[in-house]
Amino acid sequence: MPRLLLLRHAKSSWDDVSADDFDRPLNDRGRLAAPVMGSHLAAHGLAPDRILCSSARRARETLAALLPHLDEEVDVRLTRDLYFAGEDRMIDQIRAHGGNASTLLVIGHNPGIQETALAFLTETASPVTEAIAAKFPTTGLAIVDFPAAKWVDIEPRTGRAVAFLKPRGRKLVEISAEDEPAG
């Protein structure tokens, strides 16, 4: 069962208004939040086998802050195709590059990350889905499981929302499907 981790890059800096959007770095808050997420991934058995990451600077810096917490053998692929990709392009990238990974982490940008998460989910009225729809903050992470055996076979509206993590200072707030009432 493939597990998809959709991560919005950490908070970026707007200090240099003349900088090209693609080249914006992380700000201090982003540099603090990204390693917290990396530590959480490692501590909770969520480390990915493969990472697809936008090649924009803020996404690469987010990735760099995660990597010290992950397995050295993780397969990392940088691509400009995730830079402001909409849900269709992002889904195509996931299908094309998920490979044999059991857990795939995608680091990208909004609104594409949020749209993709919502497009995959079967439940539209769950607390996890509602939290994702309300706001997908920087360093926010959606965890989605699929019944399909291969990434090439995943389809919209077939994923189960496992959890949504949002940064709060140096901590994470988790909204989990396990916390939802049955029925």
pLDDT digits (tens, 9 = 90+) for 90-125: 999 999 999 999 999 999 999 999 999 999 999 888
Query: Is the alpha carbon torsion for 33, 34, 36, 40 positive or negative?
Result: positive
Give the tokens for residue 20: 């090209």
Measured CA to CA, the distance from residue 141 to residue 172 in angstroms comes to: 10
Domain count, the chain: 1
Which pLDDT score, from 0 to 100, does residue 138 have?
Answer: 97
Which pLDDT score, from 0 to 100, does residue 179 have?
Answer: 57
- Residues contacting 72, CB < 8 A, separation 6+: none
Which residues are bridge partners to 167 per DSSP? Answer: 172
Maximum average pLDDT range among 19-23, 34-38, 122-126: 34-38
Measured CA to CA, the distance from residue 28 to residue 128 in angstroms comes to: 28
Please tell me the total number of residues recorded for the chain in this structure.
Answer: 183
123 vs 183, residue with greater confidence: 123
pLDDT at 148 over 50: yes
CATH number at residue 153: 3.40.50.1240
Determine the structural domain holding residue 48 and report its residue range: 3-179
Measured CA to CA, the distance from residue 118 to residue 64 in angstroms comes to: 27
Which pLDDT score, from 0 to 100, does residue 50 have?
Answer: 97
Measured CA to CA, the distance from residue 98 to residue 137 in angstroms comes to: 24
Decide if 63 contacts 85 (C-beta within 8 A). no
Measured CA to CA, the distance from residue 48 to residue 41 in angstroms comes to: 8
Q: How confident is the model at residue 183 (pLDDT cuts 50, 70, 90)?
A: very low
